[in-house]
Structures are given as structure tokens and as C-alpha cells.
Structure 1
Amino acid sequence: MDDYMRMSERTARDSLYTLSRGVVETFGDVYLRKLSLHDLQELYAAHEERHGFPGMIGSIDCTHWKWKKLSEAVASQDLWIWHAFFGVVGFNNDVNFLDQSPIFDDLLNGKAPDAPFTVNGNVYKYGYYLTDGIYPQYSTFVKAFRHPVEERDNFFKRRQERIRKDVERAFGVLKVKWHIVEHAERPLDLESLRYIMYACIIMHNMVIEDKGRIIAHYILTEPRHVQFQPGTTDYLHRVVDIQDANKYRQLQEDLTDYIFYGNNNDNE
């Protein structure tokens, strides 16, 4: 833009920021929307059919950008990015990033719909994300076994690690598709960076829709409002439910049995 349009460096930066903000404010409600019950049900069905994981929302991971920022994202099998959060390295890292992330805010305050599912005869209240080993043992995360011994555990570990690469593939496509994501050379304030990154993610999701690969098609729904304020009994009950390590282990075992024995029966 500097050479072709004879624009000054400052004008080019201001135009980039204005464009990014316009994309986010115009299209964000659809292409970077919060998950609705309809979205969750379609994701559940698609991930069980394609991956064999009932109740799976997507895969979650963090990545370091060359901007010296840390980014967290959730992607589904179609590489649609459902959630993104950006922080500054030094204040956020892989270990404490989750404490700063808003990934569970809507679930805790009741704005996100409850979408229960059943596996191995046990009912679970919330969907889950596939993660790597650094994430905590929450009932909304499913990790691979760290040191599998049994054949079923090894089978589950291989399957889980292969499938959670969806989010890594989404990161890779995003970097290839938008040059600025991988090669931002000029220092920008955090607000500007967020608008630019969200704009790139929104346009990434637009391309997925345009190619006809999306799992969850947009349906206009009534917005949900906060039902549980922080500190209230209902809110704290949800915190306990999400951070319940026993439920995490039970879900991991149920999924392992479901996937291993289900595949063996299919093969037979």
C-alpha cells in the first residue's frame, strides 16, 4: 500500500486498523459467534460421526505468534475457529493462560446453553474440548493417557492425539492464508492486534463457509443473558462441576471404552 497507493506509513496502518475493526463489528456476530444449542448439537453429531467422540465441541490449544503474543483458540473438525483469546507473553503462558481466558465465562454465568450428552450410559452436563497434557483435569477437557499400559489406553491416546490436531491445522491455515498473522513487523498496541487477529479469523471462517465445509450452519437465535452472578451458589456449583477431576477421569474412561470397544465391534 505504501508504494502502490502512495500512502504514508501512518495512513496505511490507520486504514488497516479501520478495516479490521469494520470486519469485526459487521460480521463478528455471525462468523465469530458464541455457540448456540443448535451449533453444539451439530458439532456433537459431526464429531461423533467423523471422529467417534460423542459430546466433543472441538479442540483447544495455545500457540506463540511472532508478534510475541500468546493465542488460545478452539477449532472444530472443519477448521472453523469458535473461540480466540490473545495475551502477552510474560503475563500469560501455557500454564496460567487458562486463568485469564474467558473460555468458561458464559458457561459459568449461564449465558451458554447446557447441552448434555450420554456416553457409556453416563450423562454429562457439558460438552468438552480435546487438549494436550498441559491443561488441568477439568470435566470439560479430555486428554490422552500420559503413560498408557493397556491396549485400549494406547488406542485412545493415538486417536485423541490425531484428532486434536484439528486446532493445530487451523492455526497453520490461518498463518498461511493471512500474511500479517505470521509476518507482522510493525509494533502495534494490543487492542489493534486483537482487531486485526479477529478480522483474520472472521475472514478465515467466511472462506470455510464459502467452500461449503462448515459443520454448524448459522441460525438466528435470541441472545441469552447472565443468569448466575459470580459468587452466587449456582455460579460456584458450576465452577465445582467444571473443575471436578473425578468427572474428568470418568469421562476419559467412558470415552476410552466407547471408542475402543466400538471400533473393535465395527471391525468384527
Structure 2
Amino acid sequence: MTGNIDCTHWKWKNCPVAWKGQYASGHHGSPPFVLEVVASQDLWIWYAFFGVMGSNNDVNVLDQLPISDDLLNGKALDVPFTVNGNEYKYGYYLTDGIYLQYSTFVKAFRHTFEERDNFFKGREEGARKGVERAFGVLKAKWHIVEHVVGPLDLETLRYIMYACIIMHNMVVEDK
């Protein structure tokens, strides 16, 4: 497995009032940011995309990621592995049900009828908790993203988020 891919949303509580209409969508109180990452079970974040929510959601954020361009162009990571005697050339990402059907995305079974499917679903859901834990740690440690004050442009906010992710990975590596 290359990692877990998932999306989370952050509310920008201190967004300048003049900018709220520009960054908010109708059903959100505060303008949200979207963060999509590939994380492993040890909470290491391998890849991240950070931007303003606006019209973005979990599916169309994927269209903006360079990682999806690589998948569509056949440039997936060369991570050979063997399962049940079958050799595979490329690694795969564990995803939830909202992601599109790509050969490198593995989703849990919705309806399981056999014991082995139940076993696989349980193991996959356990492995997917890594990305949710990574989001939880990021949100708990780095409140600056949520409470950033002042009229910062999106590029500066993106640098702040990526700096928080780098520091997060440094803490994970140190442990």
C-alpha cells in the first residue's frame, strides 16, 4: 500500500469579513479550507494539497492534484508487490467510497457476504484510520491554520499549512 488518501475541511474562523463572500460557499458558516493528503499508518504525511474550499469537494479536489495527473498518465509509483501469486507493478491507495474508480484506489466492500471479505474490510478500515488520525493530530497541534488572523493571501496560507505538515512529520520521525 502506498498510503491512505482522504480529504478534510478546516474552518477559517478569523477570515476577514470582506473576504468571506469570496471564499465561503452557501452552506458553510465560516470559509473552509480543504486539505487532501496521502498518509501512512504511522501518521507520516507523504503528499498534501491545501486550498480554499469554495466549489471544491472531495471529488473535484482530486482533479487538481498532480498525483491524479500521474495516475491518469500511467505514472503511478513503481511499487511491485505480490498477492496470492499475482504480481502487481504499481502501489495502491486506500480510499473511502467517494473517490472515483481508479485501478490504484482500493475501497472497502460495501456489502460483504463471505468471511474473507469481512476480514479484508476490517483490515482495510483499520489501516484507513491512519489518515484520520493524521488529520486529528494536525488539527489538535496546529491551531494556527484555523485561527490565522489578517488578510493573508492563499499562497501564504498554503505555506503555513505545508510548514505545519513538515513540522508534523518531524515530530513523527522523532518518535
Range class of TM-score, shorter chain: 0.7 to 0.9
Contact 1:66–1:184 (Cα < 8 Å) also in 2 = no
With structure 2 as the length reference, what TM-score do the two structures score? 0.80
**Higher Cα Rg: structure 1 or 2?**
1
Q: 1:62 maps to what in 2?
A: 7
Letter in 2 for 1:87: G
Q: Distance in 2 between matches of 1:153 and 1:106?
A: 30
Find the partner of 2:130 among 150, 166, 176: 166
Q: Distance in 2 between matches of 1:179 and 1:143?
A: 31
Distance verdict in 2 for CA 1:182–1:118, change over 3 Å? same
Find the partner of 1:101 among 65, 71, 76: 65
Runs of 4+ in 1 over 4 A off after TM superposition: none
Q: 2:104 maps to what in 1?
A: 140
Q: Distance in 2 between matches of 1:134 and 1:128?
A: 16
Give % identity: 79
- SS state at 1:92 partner: coil
Find the partner of 2:169 among 188, 205, 211: 205
Distance verdict in 2 for CA 1:109–1:149, change over 3 Å? closer
Q: 1:194 maps to what in 2?
A: 158
Structure 2 unaligned residues grouped into runs of 5+:
13-31
Q: Distance in 1 between matches of 2:128 and 2:98?
A: 14
Contact 2:33–2:53 (Cα < 8 Å) also in 1 = yes
Contact 1:115–1:125 (Cα < 8 Å) also in 2 = yes
Q: What is the number of equivalent residue pairs in this alignment?
A: 155
Query: After superposition, what is the alpha-carbon deviation per residue over 1:99-122, rounded to whole angstroms, capped at 9, x for unaligned?
Result: 111123456375x65222111111
Contact 2:108–2:121 (Cα < 8 Å) also in 1 = yes
Distance verdict in 2 for CA 1:184–1:79, change over 3 Å? same
Q: If each structure's helix is expressed as a fraction of its own residues, which one has the higher value? A: 1
Structure 1 unaligned residues grouped into runs of 5+:
1-55, 212-268
Find the partner of 2:119 among 155, 163, 166: 155
Q: 2:143 maps to what in 1?
A: 179
Q: Distance in 2 between matches of 1:138 and 1:69?
A: 25
Q: Distance in 2 between matches of 1:186 and 1:165?
A: 34
How far does residue 177 in structure 1 lie from its aligned partner after superposition? 1.5
Q: If each structure's strand is expressed as a fraction of its own residues, which one has the higher value? A: 2
